[in-house]
Structure 1
Amino acid sequence: MFLEDFRRTIESSAERLRSITEEQSETGRAEGKWSPKEIVGHLIDSAANNHQRFVRGQFSENMVFPGYDQNQWNEVQQYARESWPLLVELWRLYNLHLLHVMSCADREKLKRSHGEHSLNKIAWELVGEKEPATLEYVMRDYVEHLKHHLSQIFGDSV
Protein backbone atom coordinates (compact mmCIF):
# COMPACT_ATOMS: atom_id res chain seq x y z
CA MET A 1 0.00 0.00 0.00
CA PHE A 2 1.12 3.54 -0.66
CA LEU A 3 1.26 4.47 3.05
CA GLU A 4 3.62 1.61 3.86
CA ASP A 5 5.81 2.65 0.93
CA PHE A 6 5.80 6.20 2.30
CA ARG A 7 6.89 4.92 5.75
CA ARG A 8 9.75 2.94 4.20
CA THR A 9 10.78 5.96 2.12
CA ILE A 10 10.90 8.17 5.22
CA GLU A 11 12.99 5.76 7.28
CA SER A 12 15.38 4.59 4.58
CA SER A 13 15.90 8.12 3.28
CA ALA A 14 16.49 9.51 6.77
CA GLU A 15 19.22 6.92 7.24
CA ARG A 16 20.83 7.87 3.93
CA LEU A 17 20.52 11.59 4.70
CA ARG A 18 22.23 11.09 8.08
CA SER A 19 25.22 9.60 6.25
CA ILE A 20 25.80 12.90 4.42
CA THR A 21 28.30 15.14 6.18
CA GLU A 22 27.63 18.77 7.04
CA GLU A 23 30.13 19.80 4.37
CA GLN A 24 28.53 17.57 1.71
CA SER A 25 25.09 18.94 2.62
CA GLU A 26 26.24 22.46 1.73
CA THR A 27 27.33 21.70 -1.82
CA GLY A 28 24.87 22.14 -4.69
CA ARG A 29 24.78 19.69 -7.59
CA ALA A 30 25.62 22.52 -9.99
CA GLU A 31 25.92 26.29 -10.07
CA GLY A 32 22.58 27.87 -9.16
CA LYS A 33 21.09 24.57 -7.93
CA TRP A 34 20.00 23.94 -4.37
CA SER A 35 22.31 22.09 -1.99
CA PRO A 36 21.02 19.04 -0.09
CA LYS A 37 20.34 21.38 2.86
CA GLU A 38 18.20 23.61 0.68
CA ILE A 39 16.39 20.64 -0.87
CA VAL A 40 15.55 19.20 2.55
CA GLY A 41 14.49 22.69 3.64
CA HIS A 42 12.19 22.84 0.63
CA LEU A 43 10.78 19.43 1.57
CA ILE A 44 10.08 20.73 5.09
CA ASP A 45 8.24 23.70 3.57
CA SER A 46 6.32 21.32 1.32
CA ALA A 47 5.39 19.25 4.38
CA ALA A 48 4.18 22.37 6.21
CA ASN A 49 2.06 23.54 3.29
CA ASN A 50 0.65 20.10 2.57
CA HIS A 51 -0.08 19.42 6.23
CA GLN A 52 -2.81 22.07 6.22
CA ARG A 53 -4.08 20.78 2.86
CA PHE A 54 -4.40 17.24 4.24
CA VAL A 55 -6.37 18.52 7.23
CA ARG A 56 -8.51 21.17 5.50
CA GLY A 57 -9.25 18.81 2.64
CA GLN A 58 -11.17 16.59 5.06
CA PHE A 59 -13.72 19.23 6.05
CA SER A 60 -13.75 21.75 3.21
CA GLU A 61 -16.27 21.70 0.39
CA ASN A 62 -13.51 22.45 -2.12
CA MET A 63 -9.79 21.94 -2.48
CA VAL A 64 -8.74 25.51 -3.21
CA PHE A 65 -5.48 25.87 -1.31
CA PRO A 66 -2.89 28.65 -1.38
CA GLY A 67 0.42 28.06 -3.06
CA TYR A 68 3.79 29.44 -1.96
CA ASP A 69 6.97 30.75 -3.56
CA GLN A 70 9.45 27.96 -2.82
CA ASN A 71 12.53 30.07 -3.57
CA GLN A 72 11.41 32.89 -1.28
CA TRP A 73 10.62 30.46 1.53
CA ASN A 74 14.03 28.81 1.15
CA GLU A 75 15.87 32.12 1.06
CA VAL A 76 14.04 33.71 3.99
CA GLN A 77 14.61 30.69 6.23
CA GLN A 78 18.28 30.41 5.23
CA TYR A 79 18.34 26.63 5.22
CA ALA A 80 21.93 26.77 3.92
CA ARG A 81 22.93 28.07 7.38
CA GLU A 82 20.93 25.54 9.39
CA SER A 83 22.37 22.45 11.08
CA TRP A 84 22.20 19.42 8.77
CA PRO A 85 21.31 16.88 11.51
CA LEU A 86 18.53 19.19 12.74
CA LEU A 87 17.07 19.56 9.24
CA VAL A 88 17.15 15.80 8.65
CA GLU A 89 15.44 15.03 11.96
CA LEU A 90 12.80 17.74 11.45
CA TRP A 91 12.10 16.39 7.96
CA ARG A 92 11.84 12.81 9.29
CA LEU A 93 9.57 13.63 12.22
CA TYR A 94 7.30 15.94 10.22
CA ASN A 95 6.82 13.28 7.57
CA LEU A 96 6.08 10.61 10.16
CA HIS A 97 3.37 12.92 11.49
CA LEU A 98 2.00 13.44 7.96
CA LEU A 99 1.97 9.67 7.55
CA HIS A 100 -0.16 9.51 10.71
CA VAL A 101 -2.51 12.22 9.38
CA MET A 102 -2.85 10.33 6.09
CA SER A 103 -3.50 7.01 7.80
CA CYS A 104 -6.22 8.55 10.01
CA ALA A 105 -8.05 10.22 7.12
CA ASP A 106 -11.59 9.04 6.48
CA ARG A 107 -11.55 6.86 3.33
CA GLU A 108 -14.75 8.43 1.97
CA LYS A 109 -13.23 11.90 2.29
CA LEU A 110 -10.06 10.73 0.55
CA LYS A 111 -12.06 9.50 -2.45
CA ARG A 112 -14.57 12.39 -2.62
CA SER A 113 -14.33 14.14 -5.97
CA HIS A 114 -13.94 17.94 -5.96
CA GLY A 115 -14.63 20.01 -9.05
CA GLU A 116 -13.37 23.20 -7.40
CA HIS A 117 -9.65 23.01 -6.66
CA SER A 118 -6.35 24.77 -7.18
CA LEU A 119 -4.36 21.68 -8.16
CA ASN A 120 -3.97 23.10 -11.65
CA LYS A 121 -1.60 25.63 -10.02
CA ILE A 122 -0.11 24.03 -6.89
CA ALA A 123 0.23 20.27 -7.44
CA TRP A 124 3.54 18.76 -8.44
CA GLU A 125 1.77 16.82 -11.20
CA LEU A 126 -0.88 19.36 -12.18
CA VAL A 127 -4.57 18.45 -12.48
CA GLY A 128 -6.54 20.18 -15.21
CA GLU A 129 -8.73 23.03 -14.01
CA LYS A 130 -11.87 21.28 -15.30
CA GLU A 131 -10.85 17.82 -14.04
CA PRO A 132 -12.12 16.66 -10.64
CA ALA A 133 -9.55 15.94 -7.95
CA THR A 134 -9.45 14.02 -4.69
CA LEU A 135 -7.64 14.44 -1.39
CA GLU A 136 -6.02 11.08 -1.98
CA TYR A 137 -4.48 12.54 -5.14
CA VAL A 138 -3.06 15.46 -3.12
CA MET A 139 -1.46 13.01 -0.67
CA ARG A 140 0.00 10.76 -3.36
CA ASP A 141 1.25 13.79 -5.29
CA TYR A 142 3.01 14.99 -2.13
CA VAL A 143 4.84 11.67 -1.75
CA GLU A 144 5.90 11.59 -5.41
CA HIS A 145 7.21 15.16 -5.14
CA LEU A 146 9.17 14.17 -2.03
CA LYS A 147 10.69 11.16 -3.80
CA HIS A 148 11.66 13.32 -6.78
CA HIS A 149 13.67 15.68 -4.59
CA LEU A 150 15.25 12.89 -2.55
CA SER A 151 16.43 11.38 -5.83
CA GLN A 152 18.11 14.69 -6.62
CA ILE A 153 20.10 14.40 -3.39
CA PHE A 154 20.98 10.71 -3.72
CA GLY A 155 21.49 10.64 -7.48
CA ASP A 156 19.26 7.58 -7.83
CA SER A 157 15.61 6.66 -7.49
CA VAL A 158 14.03 6.41 -4.06
Structure 2
Amino acid sequence: MEENLSQLQYPIGIYTAPDNYDEKQLNFWISAIEALPKWLDYCIENLDEAQLKQPYRLGGWNSIQIIHHLADSHANAYIRLKLALTEENPVIKPYDQDLWAELQDIYRVPVNVSITLLHALHLRWVAVLKNLKEDDWKRSFFHLEQNKLVPIWEMTSQYAWHGRHHMEQIRQMRERNNW
Protein backbone atom coordinates (compact mmCIF):
# COMPACT_ATOMS: atom_id res chain seq x y z
CA MET A 1 0.00 0.00 0.00
CA GLU A 2 2.81 2.42 0.93
CA GLU A 3 4.60 1.72 -2.36
CA ASN A 4 1.35 2.39 -4.27
CA LEU A 5 0.85 5.70 -2.40
CA SER A 6 4.41 6.75 -3.23
CA GLN A 7 3.84 5.84 -6.90
CA LEU A 8 0.67 7.97 -6.94
CA GLN A 9 2.34 10.88 -5.18
CA TYR A 10 5.59 10.70 -7.19
CA PRO A 11 4.72 8.98 -10.47
CA ILE A 12 8.11 9.82 -12.06
CA GLY A 13 10.05 9.47 -8.79
CA ILE A 14 11.24 12.00 -6.23
CA TYR A 15 13.38 14.79 -7.65
CA THR A 16 17.10 14.36 -7.19
CA ALA A 17 19.32 17.25 -8.21
CA PRO A 18 22.02 16.20 -10.66
CA ASP A 19 25.66 16.80 -9.73
CA ASN A 20 26.37 18.59 -13.00
CA TYR A 21 24.98 19.15 -16.48
CA ASP A 22 25.83 19.04 -20.15
CA GLU A 23 24.29 20.43 -23.32
CA LYS A 24 22.22 17.28 -23.94
CA GLN A 25 20.66 17.51 -20.44
CA LEU A 26 19.99 21.24 -20.84
CA ASN A 27 18.19 20.60 -24.12
CA PHE A 28 16.12 17.83 -22.52
CA TRP A 29 15.14 20.05 -19.59
CA ILE A 30 14.28 22.99 -21.83
CA SER A 31 12.19 20.72 -24.08
CA ALA A 32 10.22 19.47 -21.07
CA ILE A 33 9.53 23.03 -19.92
CA GLU A 34 8.52 23.99 -23.45
CA ALA A 35 6.15 21.02 -23.83
CA LEU A 36 4.33 21.25 -20.48
CA PRO A 37 1.43 23.53 -21.52
CA LYS A 38 0.61 21.26 -24.49
CA TRP A 39 0.83 18.18 -22.29
CA LEU A 40 -1.64 19.77 -19.89
CA ASP A 41 -3.99 20.64 -22.77
CA TYR A 42 -4.03 16.96 -23.67
CA CYS A 43 -4.38 15.74 -20.09
CA ILE A 44 -7.50 17.74 -19.31
CA GLU A 45 -9.13 17.67 -22.73
CA ASN A 46 -12.89 17.01 -22.39
CA LEU A 47 -12.77 16.63 -18.58
CA ASP A 48 -15.76 18.10 -16.78
CA GLU A 49 -15.71 20.02 -13.51
CA ALA A 50 -16.44 16.93 -11.39
CA GLN A 51 -13.51 15.10 -12.97
CA LEU A 52 -11.23 18.12 -12.50
CA LYS A 53 -12.21 18.26 -8.81
CA GLN A 54 -11.27 14.64 -8.14
CA PRO A 55 -7.96 14.36 -6.25
CA TYR A 56 -5.28 12.27 -7.91
CA ARG A 57 -4.87 10.40 -4.60
CA LEU A 58 -6.47 10.38 -1.15
CA GLY A 59 -5.34 13.58 0.57
CA GLY A 60 -3.82 14.94 -2.62
CA TRP A 61 -4.66 17.92 -4.74
CA ASN A 62 -7.16 17.78 -7.57
CA SER A 63 -6.41 18.76 -11.17
CA ILE A 64 -7.71 22.29 -10.62
CA GLN A 65 -5.30 22.83 -7.72
CA ILE A 66 -2.42 21.20 -9.60
CA ILE A 67 -2.86 23.36 -12.70
CA HIS A 68 -3.19 26.61 -10.75
CA HIS A 69 -0.20 25.50 -8.63
CA LEU A 70 1.85 24.98 -11.78
CA ALA A 71 1.02 28.52 -12.92
CA ASP A 72 1.93 29.94 -9.50
CA SER A 73 5.10 27.90 -9.11
CA HIS A 74 6.37 28.42 -12.63
CA ALA A 75 5.68 32.16 -12.49
CA ASN A 76 7.85 32.24 -9.37
CA ALA A 77 10.53 30.20 -11.15
CA TYR A 78 10.56 32.57 -14.12
CA ILE A 79 10.97 35.58 -11.82
CA ARG A 80 13.74 33.77 -9.91
CA LEU A 81 15.51 33.08 -13.20
CA LYS A 82 15.37 36.74 -14.19
CA LEU A 83 16.56 37.81 -10.73
CA ALA A 84 19.48 35.38 -10.95
CA LEU A 85 20.41 36.78 -14.36
CA THR A 86 20.26 40.42 -13.28
CA GLU A 87 21.49 40.38 -9.67
CA GLU A 88 24.36 38.71 -7.84
CA ASN A 89 23.00 35.72 -5.91
CA PRO A 90 19.65 37.30 -5.01
CA VAL A 91 17.82 35.91 -2.00
CA ILE A 92 14.46 34.53 -3.05
CA LYS A 93 11.47 34.31 -0.77
CA PRO A 94 9.84 30.90 -0.37
CA TYR A 95 6.05 30.63 -0.18
CA ASP A 96 3.62 28.11 1.28
CA GLN A 97 2.30 26.27 -1.78
CA ASP A 98 -0.36 24.46 0.25
CA LEU A 99 -1.84 27.74 1.45
CA TRP A 100 -1.68 29.18 -2.07
CA ALA A 101 -3.62 26.11 -3.31
CA GLU A 102 -6.47 26.97 -0.92
CA LEU A 103 -6.89 30.64 -1.89
CA GLN A 104 -10.17 31.69 -3.48
CA ASP A 105 -8.81 32.20 -6.99
CA ILE A 106 -8.23 28.46 -7.26
CA TYR A 107 -11.94 27.68 -7.51
CA ARG A 108 -13.18 31.01 -8.89
CA VAL A 109 -10.90 31.14 -11.94
CA PRO A 110 -11.26 28.44 -14.62
CA VAL A 111 -8.22 26.19 -15.16
CA ASN A 112 -7.97 27.28 -18.78
CA VAL A 113 -6.86 30.71 -17.52
CA SER A 114 -3.85 29.13 -15.78
CA ILE A 115 -3.13 26.93 -18.80
CA THR A 116 -3.20 30.03 -21.02
CA LEU A 117 -0.87 31.71 -18.54
CA LEU A 118 1.45 28.67 -18.71
CA HIS A 119 1.50 28.80 -22.53
CA ALA A 120 2.57 32.46 -22.46
CA LEU A 121 4.93 32.10 -19.50
CA HIS A 122 6.68 29.02 -20.88
CA LEU A 123 7.12 30.70 -24.26
CA ARG A 124 9.00 33.55 -22.57
CA TRP A 125 10.85 31.24 -20.15
CA VAL A 126 12.10 29.01 -22.95
CA ALA A 127 13.16 32.05 -25.01
CA VAL A 128 15.39 33.12 -22.11
CA LEU A 129 16.76 29.60 -21.50
CA LYS A 130 17.56 28.95 -25.17
CA ASN A 131 19.63 32.13 -25.32
CA LEU A 132 21.73 31.75 -22.19
CA LYS A 133 25.50 31.81 -22.50
CA GLU A 134 27.62 29.19 -20.76
CA ASP A 135 28.43 31.47 -17.81
CA ASP A 136 24.75 32.33 -17.36
CA TRP A 137 23.91 28.71 -16.49
CA LYS A 138 26.17 28.99 -13.45
CA ARG A 139 24.50 32.15 -12.09
CA SER A 140 22.43 31.43 -9.01
CA PHE A 141 19.99 32.61 -6.40
CA PHE A 142 20.00 31.91 -2.69
CA HIS A 143 17.03 29.79 -1.60
CA LEU A 144 16.19 30.61 2.04
CA GLU A 145 14.17 27.45 2.65
CA GLN A 146 16.91 25.18 1.26
CA ASN A 147 19.65 27.39 2.73
CA LYS A 148 21.79 27.10 -0.40
CA LEU A 149 22.73 28.71 -3.67
CA VAL A 150 20.79 27.21 -6.58
CA PRO A 151 22.39 27.63 -10.01
CA ILE A 152 20.16 28.27 -13.02
CA TRP A 153 21.06 24.92 -14.58
CA GLU A 154 19.85 23.10 -11.43
CA MET A 155 16.66 25.15 -11.25
CA THR A 156 15.99 24.27 -14.90
CA SER A 157 16.40 20.58 -14.08
CA GLN A 158 14.06 20.87 -11.12
CA TYR A 159 11.29 22.65 -12.99
CA ALA A 160 11.52 20.27 -15.95
CA TRP A 161 10.91 17.50 -13.40
CA HIS A 162 8.21 19.54 -11.60
CA GLY A 163 6.07 20.01 -14.69
CA ARG A 164 6.39 16.35 -15.75
CA HIS A 165 5.67 15.24 -12.16
CA HIS A 166 2.35 17.10 -11.92
CA MET A 167 1.33 16.40 -15.51
CA GLU A 168 1.84 12.71 -14.87
CA GLN A 169 -0.34 12.84 -11.74
CA ILE A 170 -3.21 14.17 -13.86
CA ARG A 171 -2.52 11.84 -16.78
CA GLN A 172 -2.41 8.72 -14.61
CA MET A 173 -5.60 9.70 -12.77
CA ARG A 174 -7.32 10.10 -16.13
CA GLU A 175 -6.01 6.73 -17.23
CA ARG A 176 -7.03 4.97 -13.98
CA ASN A 177 -10.56 6.32 -14.32
CA ASN A 178 -10.83 5.58 -18.06
CA TRP A 179 -11.77 9.18 -18.88
TM-score (normalised: structure 1): 0.76
Alignment RMSD (CA, Å): 2.5
Residue 32 (str. 1) matches residue 50 (str. 2): no
Structure 1: 4+ residue segments shifted above 4 A: none
Give, as a single letter, the amino acid of the residue that structure 1 aligns with 2:97: Q
Q: Find 1:68's aligned residue among 80, 90, 95.
A: 95
2-structure distance, mates of 1:9, 1:52: 18
1:141 is aligned with what amino acid? Q
Structure 1 75/12 Cα, relative in aligned 2: closer, same or farther at 3 Å?
closer
| Alignment partner of 1:117 out of 132, 142, 151 | 142
Report 1 or 2 for greater relative contact order, CA contacts < 8 Å, sequence distance ≥ 6.
Answer: 2
* Counterpart Cα distance in 2 of 1:65 and 1:54: 10
Q: Confirm or deny that 1:12 pairs with 2:39.
A: yes
The residue aligned with 2:72 is 45
**Unaligned ranges ≥5, structure 1:** 123-127
Higher mean displacement: 103-112 or 36-45: 103-112
Residue 82 (structure 1) aligns with: 109
Distance across 2 between alignment mates of 1:97 and 1:84: 20
Q: Give the aligned residue type for 2:155.
A: V
TM-score by length of 2: 0.69
Letter in 2 for 1:87: S
> Deviations for 1:51-87, whole angstroms, at most 9, x for unmatched residues?
1111011122215311101012122243133213223
Q: Distance in 1 between matches of 2:74 and 2:104?
A: 15
In the alignment, structure 1 residue 107 sits paired with structure 2 residue 147: no
| Residue matched to 2:162 | 145
State how far apart, in whole Å, the 1-side matches of 2:118 and 2:45 are.
Answer: 11
> Would you say the 8 A contact 1:58–1:110 is kept in 2?
no
Q: Higher strand proportion, which one? A: 2
Q: 1:38 deviation in Å?
A: 0.3
* Contact persistence 2:43–2:170 (CA under 8 A): no
Percent identity of paired positions between Structure 1 and Structure 2: 24
Distance 2:163 2:104 in 1: 19
Q: Show the counterpart of 1:125.
A: none
Aligned residues: 146
